[in-house]
Amino acid sequence: MPVLDQDLDASALRRFRGFIFDCDGVLIDSFVANVAYYNMFRSRFGLPPMGPEDEMYTHTQNVFNSIQRIVPPEHYEAAMEYRKLLNYRDILPHLRREPGILGLLSWLRAARFFLGVNTNRTDTTDMVFEALDLNGYFQPVMTAGIAPRPKPDPGGMHAILNDWGLSAAEVVFIGDSDVDEQTALNAGVSFWAYKNPALAAELHVPDFETLLLALRRAWPELSTGLQGA
């Protein structure tokens, strides 16, 4: 699959009017934070910390599936009650924005592209965006608490398309996991893989600085008028 480079055909980029982003692993680096969060549940029920497979699973899945996986079935209801007691703000210091994301979003917003989010986060999304200065870029933000069903169900993606009044052919989804890959496939939209060459994607994005440069080259008429963006 192609990787962004100087020789990329501009037509591969110019056909899109809307950009939908996954959150964890794309907009933000949250792996350490997720491990810390879900290990709280393990500790609560006298279990050892998660192994690598569970760490990767909880990083891409919604909170309900994740808790179901990492605690025994007989403790699931108690774990969901424990979740209500946790203060996610204690996790926020572990979160970081992905490098280059603000520059990319600022340019896309100034150029009047549609920007949205489709994430399997639930009620922590607003808190995370506020803490990392990501508010105001996206409309809508489709979470697992709002969408009909979590990803890879395409319902959240379809809701964004309906909100924008765009067809699937005019939109690209940028994600980093097999869940995102399947979501894009189910919704019939193009998929760009971020920092994950193992995924089947129309384009592989190594970093957001490289993507921004490619977009500027693809839309020179926009870049000329957005030198400060």
Q: What string of pLDDT tens digits covers the 229 residues of the chain?
A: 566 654 566 777 889 999 999 999 999 998 999 999 999 999 999 999 999 999 999 988 889 999 999 999 999 999 999 999 999 899 899 999 999 999 999 999 999 999 999 999 988 999 999 999 999 999 999 999 899 899 999 999 999 999 999 999 999 999 999 999 999 999 999 999 999 999 999 999 999 999 999 999 889 888 655 554 4
| Element (DSSP H or E) covering residue 118 | strand 114-118
Residues 55 and 149 both lie in one domain: no
Domain shared by 136 and 191, yes or no: yes
Assess whether 132 and 198 both reside in one domain.
Answer: yes
Give this prediction's pTM: 0.86
Residue 62 domain flag: yes
160 & 74 share domain? no
Q: Which residues of 23-50 are buried (b: 16+ CB within 10 A; e: fewer)?
A: bbbbbbbbbebbbebbbebbebeeeeeb
Same domain? For 57 and 106 the reply is no
43 and 139 co-located in one domain? no
User: Domain of 17: which CATH number?
Assistant: 3.40.50.1000
The answer to whether residues 116 and 47 belong to one domain is no
Structural domains in the chain (count): 2
Query: Per the domain annotation, does 1 fall within a domain?
Result: no
Peptide bond into 152 cis (omega under 30): yes
Domain match, 115 and 196 both: yes
Domain hosting 187: range is 11-29+97-225
Of 70, 93, 116, the residue that ends a domain is 93
